[in-house]
Structure 1
Amino acid sequence: MEDEKIVQLIWDRNENGINELSEKYDRYCFCISERIVHDEEDAKECVNDTWLRTWNTIPPSRPSVLSTFLAKIVRNLSLNRYRDMHALKRGGSSVNIAIEELNECITDGKTVEKDMEYKLLTESIEDFLWKQTKRNRTVFLKRYFYVMDIKEIAEELDIKEGTVKSILSRMRKKLAVWLEKEAVV
């Protein structure tokens, strides 16, 4: 079923919309969540919570790109779950490493999790990303939105791991300059 029809079913409060949503996007949302929480049961729970959050959000929201809308919801739920599970532990997981890498761009000592909640920062990062090449933007999003490992990104894009690391390093430096110039941080 097409996304517009799924959104309309949910908008009309027809529960078949959630069934269609689950059928079409279950694997997509599960992959995003599992990459963050690294636990099958927690990922399934985050996906189920995504359906509930979607039901409660539409209306009033009417997403133009359903996959992105769902990705944001499941990602935020998964990050919250991850934080809850690892509140006392800090380590070298890929989620923590990705967040630490981005923290280098944020100079005021706040965490990326808190800064990302501010609309101004989000808009500034989006503006920055749209000014990058498609490949660089894709690498950046796969690393910091989808929390993919460097090896996964390299394999998926058929480039060397060193190339991925270089792209990310250069983009973090450019982003730091961009955010300072935009007076966001």
Structure 2
Amino acid sequence: MKDEDIINLYFMRDERAIEETDLKYGKYCKTIVKNILQNAQDIEECLDDTYMKMWKRIPPAKPLILRAFIGKIARDLALNMFYASKRVRRGGGVVNEILEELDECIPDNNDVEHSVLRNELSNIIRTFVNELGQRDAYIFTSRYFYAEDISSIARKYGMTRHNVTVTLSRLRKKLQSRLEKEGYLAS
């Protein structure tokens, strides 16, 4: 079924919308969620929550790219579940590795002033990724959006783990420079 037809099912409040979404994007969402959450029960709960959130958001939202829309919902819910389960503990799992990697170029500021700047940071990062070459953009988003581990990225792009690690390090340094240039980080 075409994305437009699935979206129309949501607008008609037809429960087949969830079934069709699952048929078309279930494996895609499960991959995203599984990269972040390791527990099978948490994965299933997150997928159920993803479909529920889709049902609540469409309408009024009318996504231009349904795959990206549901992928972002699944990723955000999985990260929220991860943070809730790991709030006290540190270490273990690919998400902690990713957060530690990004700590060097993106500060963790939770005060009001910084929450206002969050949209600006998102725009800077989005522009940064859009300006990267296709391979680097895919590697960056595979790691930092889809939370893929380095081995699977290496297999996907025909690289060694070392090459992926070096590429990600170079990209983080470029991002850090960009954030400094934009005045988001102090030099």
TM-score category (smaller protein): over 0.9
Match of 1:7 in 2: 7
String of CA shifts for 1:58-88, please: whole Å, max 9, x gaps.
1111111111111110111001111111112
What is the distance in 2 between the residues matched to 1:67 and 1:119?
A: 22
Match of 1:170 in 2: 170
Matched to 2:86, the amino acid is H
TM-score (norm 1): 0.92
Provide runs of 4+ in structure 1 moved above 4 Å.
none
Say if 1:124 and 1:184, in contact at 8 Å, map to a contact too: no
What is the distance in 2 between the residues matched to 1:121 and 1:7?
A: 30
Matched to 2:170, the amino acid is R
Q: Give SS of 1:183's match.
A: coil
RMSD: 1.6
TM-score (norm 2): 0.92
Query: Within the alignment, does 1:19 sit opposite 2:19 as a pair?
Result: yes
Alignment of 1:126-137 (within 5 A): 126-137=126-137
Say if 1:121 and 1:184, in contact at 8 Å, map to a contact too: yes
Alignment of 1:1-185 (within 5 A): 1-107=1-107, 109-110=108-109, 118-185=118-185
Say if 1:150 and 1:161, in contact at 8 Å, map to a contact too: yes
Matched to 1:174, the amino acid is K
**Identical pairs, percent:** 38
Shift of the alpha carbon at 1:23?
Answer: 1.4
What is the distance in 1 between the residues matched to 2:146 and 2:134?
A: 16
In structure 1, runs of 5+ residues without a counterpart are none
Say if 1:150 and 1:164, in contact at 8 Å, map to a contact too: yes
In structure 2, runs of 5+ residues without a counterpart are none
Q: Give SS of 1:64's match.
A: coil
Matched to 1:164, the amino acid is V
Matched to 2:5, the amino acid is K
Say if 1:50 and 1:74, in contact at 8 Å, map to a contact too: yes
Shift of the alpha carbon at 1:39?
Answer: 1.1
What is the distance in 2 between the residues matched to 1:12 and 1:182?
A: 45
What is the distance in 1 between the residues matched to 2:46 and 2:39?
A: 11
What is the distance in 1 between the residues matched to 2:31 and 2:106?
A: 28
What is the distance in 2 between the residues matched to 1:81 and 1:177?
A: 31
**How many equivalent residue pairs?**
181
Shift of the alpha carbon at 1:110?
Answer: 2.4
What is the distance in 2 between the residues matched to 1:175 and 1:100?
A: 15
